[in-house]
Every structure is written in C-alpha cells, then in structure tokens.
Structure 1
Amino acid sequence: MKLEKVTKERRWYDDACGTALALEFVGERWSLLVMRELVYGPRRFGEIRANLPGISANVLTQRLESLEAAGILVRRRLPSPANVQVYDLTDWGRDAAPLIRDLGRWAARSPRHDPLLFMSPASMMMSFDALMDRERARGVRLTVGCRFPGDGFVVDVDDGRLSVRRGEAAAVDATFEGDTMALRVTVYGKMPFGGEGGATVTGDLAAAQRFVDLFRLPEKIA
C-alpha cells in the first residue's frame, strides 16, 4: 500500500495516530456535545442551542461549520410543510455515537460527575444506552415511551440490547413523562412511582418497574 502525505492548513498534533486526528475533528469545546444532540436525528439550529446551555449562537455556528467541513454532519432542508433547515449526522458521523456513549460512561465514574446538572433529552437517552445492565436485561423485552416538553423518544429493550429512536410508538408497555430531572429521579434515584419530583408513569407499571430496574449509576473511582 502506498502511503501519501496529506497536507493541511492547520494541524494540532504532529502525530499519525487516529486518536490525534479525531481530536482535530471534535476536540474543540462543544463539538462532541453538538454531535450528541444529533445522534437521534436531525435538529434545527435553535433546538441544538436550547439543549446546550452556555453556547453562543456564534460559537455554535463555528462548530457546525467545522463539523460539516470534516464530513461529520450535513445541512439539509426538510420538505414541506416543515420547510426548515436542519443539521444531521452523516453515516460516518453517526458511527461515533458508541464512542460518545462510552466516554460518558467512563467519565460518570469520576467523583466530579454531578448527576443533578442540566441534561438534555438526547443526553438522557444516551445515558440509558451507557448505563443499562446488559446482564440483567437478558431475556427482557419491552418498549417504553419517554415524553419530554417538546421532544419524545421510544426505547426498546430486546434481550440485552437497547435501541432508541425519536418519536412516538403506536404501542408501548409504559410511558414516562416529565423533564429530564424527573426521569433521572425516577430511574436513577429509584423514587417510587408517583413520588414528588419524579416522572409521571402510565401504562403497565410492572413493565415500567422492570425498565427502571435495568439502570444504575456506576460506582465511583476511589
């Protein structure tokens, strides 16, 4: 195989390691979080910004442009009647989703991880994928809905595997409704259904409890 030198206007690292190149793509502040918000489908500029508290419109524009230039995301316009511009991950960009998930699971073991800070709906869904006990989930098959203000997801558990999609399902075993803090209190805080501050739970409550029992926050490092 012939090796060819690739010249670029700017390099952060003089290093052939793929990890170094990955950091050039997503190492700037906010880049990975922008990608996280797009894992479950296209989002409008305002929707991305609303779920990244602290980012300015100018910085978000810069991150979107750099991710687009790297081939990680694309801009496109939804057909009528929506007729709005959205941002979406490319197939290659979406391949990074397990990396973002695993990085989150790794960092959650730090004593500095604060589960009470802001969390977007997309981040909440990714936490399910990161923190589900796969062994406990073997043999479990159920579908739940998660309704947040302005957003909704369907979570499928199928014999140790978990998948998430944005939207509504025709039939679910149970539905959790509230903001992300309410869902965290219910799922990770193990508050009994109906407890103050928790999510509203409807449908098959036994199925909802089986779902909740699949998740726990990881042990912290010493």
Structure 2
Amino acid sequence: MAARDYGQYCGITQALELVGERWSLLIVRDLLVGPRRYGELAAGLPRIPSNILAARLKELQEAGVIRRAPRSRVIVYELTPYGRELEPVVLALGAWGFKALGEPRDEQIITPAAMTMTLRTAFRPEVAADLPPTSYAAHVGGDGLVIQVDGATLGVTRGDAPVDLAFAAGPVILRLISGELAPERAIATGAVEVLHGRGDLLDRFASTFHLAA
C-alpha cells in the first residue's frame, strides 16, 4: 500500500491511498492499453525517475492492482481483474481533464498509450454504428497507431496496416477531437497532413471521435 494515509474510513479515501500517489494512475493508464515490460513503462513515462517507477510498481502490486507475469521469457506487468475495474474511472478522468487541457506546451508530448486512451475516451459508438467500417493510421509525434472502427467496435494498435486514411499530426489532433479545429481547416493549414487515402475521411474521423473541451 502507498505511504499516504488520510485517516478516514471512506471508499474514495481508500482508492486514493491505493492509486493516488503521483504517477500511479499513469502507470494504470498505460497498462490498460496492454501488458508492459519495465523498460516499456519507463519509455512511455520519460520523466519518471527509475526509483519512483520501481516504488509505484511495488505499491500497485501490494494493492492487488497489477501483477508480474512471464511472457516469452521476459517479465511483464499487467493489470489484475481488480485493476482493470479502473478503466471507466481513467476514461472519465480523461474526459474531465480534457475540458481544462488548453494549448500544449513546447515540451509536452503525446505518447502512444496516452493517444490510445484518448481515442477510447472520445469514441462515439452510437455514431460509428451508422457509418461504414473505416480504418485510419494516425502518426502522432512520430509514433503510428492503426485505428479500426467497425460499427460500434473500436480497435487501436501500434504498427502498420492497410488503411483507408493515413495522416500525421502533432498535439493539435486534440483540437480536432474537441471540434475546435474543423477537418478541412486542419488539412488546409497543414496542422494535419494527409499521407495517403481519402482526405475527406478526416470528417468521418472527427465525427467518430469527439470530446467536449
């Protein structure tokens, strides 16, 4: 358990004692995308000191939120079923925090895991259900994500695959998702670069993924 003790008998208090230390929920966020080796977690959280990462992993294991598991001769960290129950909490926090996000600072980045969780948060299955299946490749900050939308089902993976639209963007992609930047304006100004495929599908992307700012 984390060192913080609020001295109150309350579910919210208990939750904060388990996952409220700095970096803990970001570790959970990245593990919601999938199991990670220690080095992969460190790479996805480039500012976390190694001693803090080790301490947080130990605390989360002791709390029953994550566990160590062997995968192809290496050890990975993964969420337990108890830990996976945090997914709606993390998604709700993401939507709530999005409203106060503001403009990105020069030193701020979007990691693949962060972008994946943003897409999960912004996904509108009720809209996607009425649209043809569409696949996108989003290159954000040099990292590529393949986004598969099939009806009300969303799949997001890293790597390459044949897609209907491939585009590149920086943190400004969040302005597209918020509706502050229209798709045609994003392309015209170079904020979003169409790499291949139909540029008009960016309108479909923007309607499928939306978060209110």
Q: TM-score range by the shorter chain?
A: 0.7 to 0.9
> How far has the Cα of 1:137 moved from its partner?
3.5
Percent identity reads: 33
Q: Aligned match of 1:126 in 117, 132, 155?
A: 117
- Residue 52 of structure 2: which of 43, 53, 59 is its match? 59
1:42 to 31, 35, 42: 35
Output the aligned Cα RMSD: 3.1
Maintained 8 Å contact 1:155/1:162: no
SS at 1:192 equivalent: helix
In structure 2, stretches of 5+ residues that fail to align are none
Change (3 A) 1:99 1:171: same
Describe the shift of the 1:115–1:71 C-alpha distance in structure 2 as closer, same or farther (beyond 3 A). farther
Match of 1:193 in 2: 187
**For 1:131-169, what per-residue CA distance to the aligned partner results, in whole angstroms no more than 9, with x for missing partners?**
34555444123232334577543323344x352332447
Confirm or deny: 8 A CA contact 1:183 1:199 kept in the other structure: no
Name the counterpart of 1:154.
146
Q: How does 1:14-29 map to 2 (within 5 A)?
A: 14-29=7-22
* TM superposition shift of 1:103: 0.7
Say which of 142, 149, 166 aligns to 2:134: 142
The alignment status of 1:106 with 2:96, answered yes or no, reads: yes
Partner AA of 1:213 in structure 2:
S
In the alignment, is the contact (CA less than 8 A) between 2:144 and 2:160 conserved in 1?
no
Worse-matched range after superposition: 28-37 or 147-156: 147-156
> Which AA in structure 2 matches 1:126?
M
User: CA distance change for structure 1 residues 97 and 9 in 2, over 3 Å: closer, same or farther?
Assistant: closer
Aligned residue for 2:26? 33
- Name the structure 1 match of 2:157: 166
- Taking structure 2 as the reference length, the TM-score comes to 0.77
The structure 2 residue matched to 1:88, chosen from 78, 81, 87, is 78
Task: Give the ranges of 4+ consecutive aligned residues of structure 1 lying more than 6 Å apart after TM superposition.
Answer: 8-11
1:209 to 175, 180, 203: 203
* 3-state SS in 1 of match to 2:155: strand
Deviations 1:45-67 (CA, angstroms, capped at 9, x unpaired) = 23222332431111011111111
Aligned partner of 1:3 in structure 2 is none
Say if 2:92 and 2:121, in contact at 8 Å, map to a contact too.
yes
1:185 touches 1:197 (CA, 8 Å); kept in 2?
no
SS at 1:176 equivalent: strand
Whichever structure has more helix as a proportion of its residues is: 2
1:152-207 Cα distance to aligned partner (Å, 9 max, x none): 43323344x352332447543223346x5364466554443374353443223333
> How far did residue 129 of structure 1 move?
2.2
Whether contact under 8 Å (2:168, 2:192) holds in the other structure is no
Matches of 1:202 and 1:187, distance apart in 2: 20
Gapped runs of 5+ residues in structure 1? 1-7
Matched AA of 2:109: F
